[in-house]
Amino acid sequence: MGLIMILSSSIFMLQVAIATERPIIGILCDEIDNNPSRSFISASYVKAVEASGARVVPIFLSRNYDYYKRMVDSVNGILLPGGKALESTVGGYFDAARHIFNYTRQLHEKGAHFPLLGICLGMQALAEFSTEDYDNSNSTLERCSGVNGRMLPLKMTQSFRNSSLYGNITPQIYDILTKQNVTANYHRYCIRPDKNLTLPWHILSLNVDRERKQFISSMELPGPIAGIQFHPEKNAWEWNQEHAAFEDALLASRHFYDWLVIEARKNNHTFDDIQNEDDSLIYNYDAIYLGREQIYRFESTSTSQRLIPGQLLAIISCLLPLIVINNKYSTIR
Ligand SMILES: *[C@@H]1O[C@H](CO)[C@@H](O)[C@H](O)[C@H]1NC(C)=O
Ligand SMILES: *[C@@H]1O[C@H](CO)[C@@H](O)[C@H](O)[C@H]1NC(C)=O
Ligand SMILES: *[C@@H]1O[C@H](CO)[C@@H](O)[C@H](O)[C@H]1NC(C)=O
Ligand SMILES: *[C@@H]1O[C@H](CO)[C@@H](O)[C@H](O)[C@H]1NC(C)=O
Ligand SMILES: *[C@@H]1O[C@H](CO)[C@@H](O)[C@H](O)[C@H]1NC(C)=O
Ligand SMILES: *[C@@H]1O[C@H](CO)[C@@H](O)[C@H](O)[C@H]1NC(C)=O
């Protein structure tokens, strides 16, 4: 009797927990040359998500709030990738990410489960949106020296064990992440742990820069929303720079994309019809080979963007070796 009760209740929990076995992850595009009518996604993010068992839909720039709401309502989780963007670009990466964050938080407040993962620039954007003086990015981000191109072991904080991101980590992955130089850091700005973010982020891990000053390397908000300062998609999928690509590094790098897709399976969003789903998938676009790595490039047919001159021009960069040598674009329909 007791056994049957336990079995049936765990089956029930499984049914509640898993909402889809066919998850779709939206990946936000990044602007090229601060012109959001030309955008791209590094194929490494797409491959990493696909390797964890989800399909990918690109989320374009320069759209209105309704578009981003519709995308959140259609996909099971969103990845805000690293890259290089100006906060001041109207209709650019930051504007799009802010809409996504805003609507996602509204869903979380209503109890929905929708994972959002910000990587490098994506994490920095999430931190900025969590600061009262949002318009002054200096107040959120600081220059961080000597970590561009460095592989670092994570220093976990007390909060990591109870976190969504690391709560189910295996001892083996924990050991690799904390003892070996596997996390690929490519950034010149960072968030210091004493920065008082307005929203209740939990700091999960820290690292130090060349001046021995600490910066946040992973953090999370309930929802779940996670930010990581390093690039786990680079280990296996980018060959333009030298990242830790030995077996343990590859094993550990999977953890973050697996987390995103496992959490996405608990979300029940769907596209309104199957044709719309098929037409939205990244499979409709060709990746372009740039030499040791691939990207997807998109050109919008409507180009109504402009830069506001004189606005804060802090370039927030998670450096990419982006060699823009190819003029081929996919046209966004
Ligand atoms: C979303 O944006 C609206 C309008 O700017 C604001 O009133 C609201 O508080 C934001 N919601 C969240 C959850 O950030
Ligand atoms: C940001 O900081 C730099 C130096 O660290 C300073 O020159 C610049 O004026 C600051 N910008 C703002 C908007 O505070
Ligand atoms: C961590 O523990 C606290 C209190 O024990 C709980 O309220 C919170 O939801 C937990 N967080 C996660 C991500 O499980
Ligand atoms: C990690 O890198 C540091 C600095 O380069 C080095 O001193 C250390 O031995 C490396 N650790 C491992 C486990 O390779
Ligand atoms: C954060 O808040 C604490 C306590 O209010 C304060 O002591 C500290 O100076 C603040 N840190 C920053 C960077 O403003
Ligand atoms: C998804 O789950 C929410 C509750 O979390 C429910 O209100 C909604 O109707 C569900 N949507 C679908 C399409 O099943």
What is the average pLDDT score of the chain? 88
DSSP class of 277:
H
Cβ neighbour number for residue 217 with a 10 Å cutoff: 26
Mean pLDDT of 58-78: 97
User: Residue with structure tokens 């797409």?
Assistant: 46
Question: Domains in the chain, ordered, with CATH?
Answer: 23-331 (3.40.50.880)
Query: Which residues does residue 218 pair with via DSSP β-bridges, in sequence order?
Result: 205, 228
Q: Which two tokens stand for residue 213?
A: 């000053």
Position 2 pLDDT exceeds 70? no
Pocket of ligand 1 (CB under 6 A): 102, 105-106
User: Residue with structure tokens 């007390």?
Assistant: 158
105: confidence class by pLDDT, cuts 50, 70, 90: very high
Q: For residue range 154-207, list pLDDT tens digits in order.
A: 999 999 999 999 999 999 999 999 999 999 999 999 999 998 899 999 999 999
Distance CA(214)–CA(144), nearest Å, equals 9
Is the beta carbon of 163 within 6 A of some atom in ligand 3?
yes
Q: Which two tokens stand for residue 175?
A: 């050991």
Give pTM, 2 decimals.
0.86
Residue nearest to atom 1 of ligand 5 (CA): 196
Q: For residue range 204-240, list pLDDT tens digits in order.
A: 999 999 999 999 999 999 999 999 999 999 999 999 9
* Amino acid at residue number 51: A
Q: What Rg, from alpha-carbon coordinates, does the chain have?
A: 19
C-alpha 312 to ligand 2 mean position (Å): 9
Q: For residue range 30-51, list pLDDT tens digits in order.
A: 999 889 999 999 999 999 999 9
Q: How many CA atoms lie within 13 A of 179 on its CB side?
A: 7
Distance CA(78)–CA(137), nearest Å, equals 23
C-alpha 159 to ligand 3 mean position (Å): 9
